[in-house]
Amino acid sequence: NTLNYIDLDIDIIVWNDYRCEILDVDEFEENTKKYNYSEQLVKKTKNSLAQLLKLIDNRQFPFNEKFNFDTFNNKN
């Protein structure tokens, strides 16, 4: 089980109570122009953000209590 990602400027902080904060959208918008991100990349990034928010809202892996409990309470 591996979580792979490419950093596209936008960050999400997920708090213990599943509230989340989206950061660096302005950085993404600036870099879109600065580095000439393709329309396809911008669309994929926005879709990925929406998918992550849905996973958080639905408490799905890796944003579920069992995963977090097992990960942070593993005594190995």
| Euclidean distance between CA atoms 19 and 3, whole angstroms | 21
pTM of the shown model: 0.74
Cα atoms in the Cβ-side hemisphere of radius 13 Å centred on 13 = 4
Preceding peptide of 62 cis, ω within 30°: yes
pLDDT, tens digit (0-9, with 9 covering 90-100), for 3-59: 777 778 999 999 888 999 999 999 999 999 999 999 999 999 999 999 999 999 998
Q: Delimit the domains of the chain by residue range.
A: 11-64
Supply the pLDDT for residue 53: 95
Q: What's the CA gap between 49 and 47, in Å, rounded?
A: 5
